[in-house]
C-alpha cells in the first residue's frame, strides 16, 4: 500500500463528493414527497388508488436499479422525436436528470413501504384519545398520527438514505462523474485498482457515518418520552448533615 | 479391496496421461471485451465473434497451444491481467507508453486510424480533412494543423468517447478546453447517444466506426475529419501480456509475424473492417 498515492487519490475523489451528495439528496427529497403520496394512496381505502400504488411498488422494488437507469437513459433515448414533441427532451437529454429520476422513482417505492409501516403502527388508542379530545381530519394527522409514524419509521428510513448514497455509484454508467466514476477513470490512468477502490469505499463510509449520526440525533430529539427524566436531586436537610 | 486398488491405479494413470498432455500443450487464457465490434463482440447467440476472435484462433494454432477466450469488462481488463485471471489481452488494445509501464505487448497485429463519427445532417459533417490520414509521430506539424482546423467547428460541442481508451486520452490531450467530453463504458453506449442526440460527435477507431455504420439505424452516420495515428493513440493494436511472461511474448511475436506475412491478417481485416488494417512497418 502506497499511502502517499492513496492521499493523492483521496483528494481527487473528493471532487466527486458534491455530485454524489447532490444526486443522493435531490432524489431522497423528491422521493420522500412521492413516497408520502404513495403511502397515503395505499391507505386511502379507495381500491383503485391502493391498487395503483401497490403495482408501482411491485414494479420498482422488484426490478434492479441498474436496469431502471438503463431503461430511462438509453431506452427513452430511442423515443426522442416523441419526447421532443411533448417538450420533455430538454429533461431527458441530460444524464443528471435521468439519474435523479431513476433514483427518485426507486427510493419512492421503498420509502412508501417504510412510511406505510410507520403509519399503520400508530396505536389505535392514541387515535381514539385524540378523537375524544375533539381532533379529526388533518389536525389529527398533523398532531398525532404523523409524529408517531415518523418516530417509528425513522430507523428504517435512515437505512434507505444510506442505500441511496451508495446507489448513486450506478450513475457513473450514464457518464456522471461522481466518486465511483472518477475512481474508474483514475484506475484507467494508473491501473491501481486496489488502492483506488479502498479509498473510494472509505469516502462512502465517511459520508454514511455522518448520515447515521444525523439520523440518530433526530431520533433522540424525537423521542424524549423514551429517555430517563432528569434525576431530581433529593434536597439535603440541615438536620441530616 | 482389489477393485478399489485397480480403480485407484486407473485414476492415477489417466491423471498422469492428462498431465503429460498438458505439459506439451499449454492452455493460454485470452481476454477480450466482447463489446467492441468488429474487433470483438458478442454475437446474437451469445458467442464471442469478430476479427480478434478469428485471429486469436489462428495464432493459437500457429503457436500450437490450446486457447480459451473469455469476455472481460474493458475498464478492469489490465488489472485482471495483472491479477493472473488470464494470460493475454486481445481487445483492440493499442500499444501506448502508459500501458507499457505496467504490461508488455507483442508486435502489433493491426492498426487503424482514429476519427470522428457524426450524423449526416450535423454541421460537424464538414470537419476538414475527411478521407486523409496523418500520423502525429511522423508529421507533428500537419497533425497540429489538422487539429487546429477542427477547433472552430467543435467549439462548445459535446463529444462521446469510451473511457480508459487511447481515444479518451487523445481528447483529453488535444481538445479538453474545446469540447465537453462524456466518457462511456462501451462504444455501443456512445453510439446510442449519438443517434439520441445527447452527444454531437463520437471519437473512435475507424474500424469500430465502420462497423457501427453497417447497422441500419446508423446509416446516416458519417466518418469525418482527418484520421489520426500515433502519439497517445498508440503504435498499433497488439496482444497485451504480463511483463514476466517472456516466453509467451516470443511465441505470439512469431505467430503474428507469420500471420502478417502470409496475408492472414489482411484477409481477416478485410472480412471484418472492409479495410486492410495490417500494421505498416
Residue B179 domain flag: yes
Using DSSP, state whether A11 is helix, strand or coil. helix
The answer to whether residues B229 and B244 belong to one domain is: no
| Number of domains chain A is built from | 1
Asked whether residue B1 is assigned to any structural domain, the reply reads: no
Pairing of strands B133-135, B40-42: unpaired
B163/B247 same-domain check? no
Predicted confidence at residue B6, as pLDDT, reads: 56
Split at pLDDT 50, 70, 90, the class of A68 is: very high
Q: Are B88 and B166 members of one domain?
A: no
Quote the CA–CA distance of A17 and B245 in Å, as a whole number. 40
- Is residue B8 one of the residues assigned to a domain? no
Instruction: Tell me, yes or no, whether B121 and B217 share the same domain.
Output: yes
Three-state helix/strand/coil letters over A17-54: HHHHHHHHHHHHHHHHHHHHHHHHHHCCCCHHHHHHHH
Residues in chain B: 281
Cis amide bond preceding B38, omega within 30 = yes
- Give A-chain residues touching B194 at CB under 8 angstroms: none
Quote the ipTM score. Answer: 0.77
- Note whether B96 contacts A: Cβ–Cβ < 8 A: no
State whether B84 and B119 are in the same domain.
no
Q: Residue B219 burial by CB count (10 A; 0-12/13-18/19+): exposed, middle or buried? A: exposed
Residue B164 lies in a domain: yes
Range of the structural domain that residue A44 is part of:
3-123+137-223
In a domain, A232, yes or no: no
B29 φ/ψ angles, rounded to the nearest 5 degrees: -90, 125
CATH number at residue B252: 3.40.190.10
Domain count, chain B: 2
Task: Please identify which residue in the block is written with the cell numbers 410507520.
Answer: A118
* Angle made by CA atoms B155, B158, B164, in degrees to the nearest 5: 115
The boundaries of the domain holding residue B76 are: 25-111+236-273
Tell whether A175 is within 8 A of chain B (Cβ).
yes
Residue B212 belongs to some domain of the structure: yes
* Whether B216 and B132 share a structural domain: yes
pLDDT higher for A234 or B24?
A234
Residue-level pLDDT at B129: 87
Q: Is residue B100 part of a domain?
A: yes
DSSP state of A142: I
Residue (of A161, A135, A136) closest to A219 by Cα position:
A161
Q: For the domain that residue A159 is a member of, what is the CATH number? A: 1.10.3720.10
Q: What is the largest CA-CA distance in chain B?
A: 87
Residue A129 belongs to some domain of the structure = no
Give the DSSP letter string of B16-43. Answer: HHHHHHHHHS-EEEEEE-SEETTTEEE-
A89 vs chain B: nearest CA distance in angstroms?
Answer: 10
% of chain A exceeding 70 in pLDDT: 98
Position A223 pLDDT exceeds 90: no
Q: Measured between beta carbons, which residues in chain B are less than 8 angstroms from residue A197?
A: none
> Cβ separation of B182 and A95 shorter than 8 Å?
yes
Shortest distance between the Cα of B127 and any Cα of chain A, in A, equals 24
Q: Bridge-partner residues for B40, per DSSP?
A: B36
Contact state of B197 with A193 under an 8 Å Cβ cutoff: no
Percent of chain A whose pLDDT exceeds 90: 79
Burial class of residue A46, CB neighbours in 10 A (0-12, 13-18, 19+): exposed
Q: Look at residue A1 and tell me whether its pLDDT is greater than 90.
A: no
The series of mean pLDDT values per 10 residues for chain B, 281 residues long, is: 54 50 72 92 92 95 94 90 94 90 94 93 89 88 92 93 91 93 92 92 92 89 92 92 94 95 93 85 57
User: Do B228 and B136 share a structural domain?
Assistant: yes
pLDDT for B21 = 45
A91-95, A204-208, B18-22, B126-130, range with greatest mean pLDDT: A204-208
Mutating which of A175, A178, A187, A192 best tests the B interface, going by the most B Cβ atoms within 10 A? A175
Distance between CA A39 and CA A53 in Å, rounded?
8
Element at B241 (helix H, strand E)? strand B240-241
* Rounded Cα distance, B256 and B239, in Å: 10
Percentages of chain A per state (helix, strand, coil), in multiples of 5: 85, 0, 15
| Residue A103 pLDDT > 90 | yes
Q: Is residue A240 part of a domain?
A: no
Residue A166 falls within a domain, yes or no? yes
Asked if the structure places residue B184 within a domain, the reply is yes
B170 and B90: one domain?
no
Interatomic CA distance for residues A112 and B263, integer angstroms: 65
Q: Please check whether residues B86 and B149 belong to one and the same domain.
A: no
Contact B164 A188 (CB under 8 A): yes
The number of beta carbons lying within 10 Å of the beta carbon of residue A147 is 13
State pLDDT tens for residues A128-184: 999 999 998 899 999 999 999 999 999 999 999 999 999 999 999 999 999 999 998
Locate A168 and state its grid cell.
Answer: 448513486
- B251 and B213 in a single domain? The answer is no
The verdict on residue A130 lying in a domain is no
Residue B97, domain member (yes or no)? yes
> Could A74 and B102 be called an inter-chain contact, meaning their C-beta atoms sit closer than 8 Å?
no
Per-residue pLDDT tens for A8-60?
A: 999 999 999 999 999 999 999 999 999 999 999 999 999 999 999 999 999 99
By C-alpha distance, the chain B residue nearest A174 is B184
Task: Looking at the structure, tell me whether residues B86 and B64 fall in a common domain.
Answer: yes
Residue B87 at interface with chain A, using a CB cutoff of 8 Å = no
Can you spell out the DSSP letters for A198-238?
HHHHHHHHHHHHHHHHHHHHHHHHH-GGGSPPPPPPPPPPG
Q: Which residue of B has its CA nearest to A91?
A: B198
Cell of B143: 497533425
* Alpha-carbon gap, residue A46 to A181, rounded angstroms: 44
Put simply, the answer to whether B196 touches A185 (Cβ < 8 Å) is no
Interface residue A82 vs chain B (CB under 8 A): no
- Do both B242 and B172 map to the same domain? no
Amino acid at each position: 500500500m502506497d499511502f502517499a498515492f492513496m492521499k493523492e487519490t483521496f483528494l481527487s475523489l473528493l471532487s466527486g463528493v458534491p455530485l454524489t451528495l447532490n444526486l443522493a439528496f435531490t432524489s431522497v427529497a423528491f422521493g420522500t414527497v412521492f413516497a408520502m403520496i404513495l403511502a397515503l394512496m395505499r391507505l386511502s381505502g379507495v381500491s383503485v388508488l391502493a391498487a395503483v400504488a401497490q403495482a408501482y411498488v411491485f414494479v420498482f422494488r422488484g426490478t434492479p436499479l441498474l436496469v431502471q437507469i438503463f431503461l430511462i437513459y438509453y431506452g427513452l433515448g430511442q423515443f426522442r422525436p416523441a419526447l421532443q414533441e411533448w417538450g420533455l427532451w430538454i429533461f431527458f437529454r441530460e444524464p443528471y436528470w435521468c439519474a435523479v429520476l431513476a433514483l427518485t422513482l426507486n427510493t419512492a417505492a421503498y420509502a412508501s413501504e417504510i412510511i406505510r409501516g410507520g403509519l399503520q403502527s400508530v396505536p389505535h388508542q392514541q387515535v381514539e384519545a385524540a378523537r375524544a379530545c375533539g381532533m379529526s381530519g388533518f389536525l389529527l394527522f398533523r398532531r398525532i398520527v404523523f409524529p408517531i409514524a415518523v418516530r417509528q419509521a425513522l430507523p428504517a428510513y435512515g437505512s434507505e438514505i444510506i442505500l441511496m448514497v451508495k446507489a448513486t455509484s450506478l450513475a457513473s454508467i450514464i457518464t456522471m462523474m461522481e466518486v465511483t466514476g472518477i475512481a474508474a477513470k483514475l484506475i484507467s490512468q494508473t491501473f491501481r485498482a486496489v488502492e483506488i477502490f479502498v479509498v473510494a469505499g472509505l469516502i462512502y463510509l465517511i459520508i454514511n457515518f455522518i448520515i447515521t449520526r444525523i439520523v440518530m440525533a433526530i431520533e433522540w430529539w424525537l423521542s424524549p418520552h423514551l429517555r430517563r427524566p432528569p434525576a431530581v436531586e433529593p434536597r439535603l436537610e440541615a438536620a441530616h448533615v | 479391496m482389489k477393485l478399489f486398488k485397480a480403480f485407484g491405479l486407473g485414476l492415477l494413470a489417466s491423471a498422469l496421461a492428462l498431465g503429460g498432455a498438458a505439459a506439451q500443450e499449454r492452455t493460454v487464457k485470452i481476454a477480450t471485451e466482447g463489446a467492441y465490434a468488429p474487433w470483438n463482440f458478442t454475437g446474437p447467440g451469445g458467442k464471442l465473434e469478430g476479427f480478434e476472435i478469428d485471429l486469436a484462433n489462428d495464432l493459437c494454432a500457429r503457436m500450437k497451444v490450446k486457447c480459451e477466450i473469455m469476455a472481460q469488462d474493458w475498464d478492469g481488463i489490465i488489472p485482471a491481467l495483472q491479477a493472473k485471471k488470464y494470460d493475454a489481452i486481445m481487445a483492440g488494445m493499442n500499444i501506448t507508453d502508459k500501458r507499457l509501464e505496467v504490461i508488455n505487448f507483442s508486435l502489433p497485429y493491426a492498426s487503424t486510424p482514429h476519427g470522428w463519427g457524426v450524423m449526416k445532417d450535423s454541421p460537424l459533417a464538414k470537419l476538414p480533412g475527411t478521407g486523409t490520414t496523418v500520423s502525429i509521430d511522423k508529421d507533428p506539424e500537419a497533425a497540429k494543423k489538422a487539429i487546429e482546423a477542427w477547433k472552430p467547428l467543435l467549439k462548445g460541442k459535446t463529444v462521446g468517447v469510451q473511457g480508459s481508451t487511447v481515444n479518451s486520452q487523445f481528447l483529453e490531450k488535444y481538445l479538453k478546453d474545446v469540447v465537453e467530453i462524456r466518457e462511456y463504458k462501451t462504444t455501443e453506449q456512445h453510439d446510442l447517444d449519438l443517434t439520441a442526440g445527447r452527444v454531437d460527435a463520437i471519437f473512435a477507431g475507424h474500424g469500430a466506426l465502420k462497423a457501427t455504420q453497417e447497422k441500419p439505424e446508423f446509416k446516416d452516420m458519417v466518418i469525418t475529419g482527418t484520421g489520426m495515428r500515433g502519439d497517445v493513440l498508440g503504435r498499433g493494436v497488439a496482444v497485451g501480456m504480463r511483463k514476466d511472461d517472456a516466453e509467451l511474448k516470443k511465441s505470439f511475436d512469431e505467430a503474428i509475424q507469420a500471420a502478417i506475412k502470409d496475408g492472414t491478417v489482411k484477409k481477416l481485416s478485410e472480412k471484418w473492417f472492409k479495410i486492410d488494417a495490417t500494421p505498416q512497418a
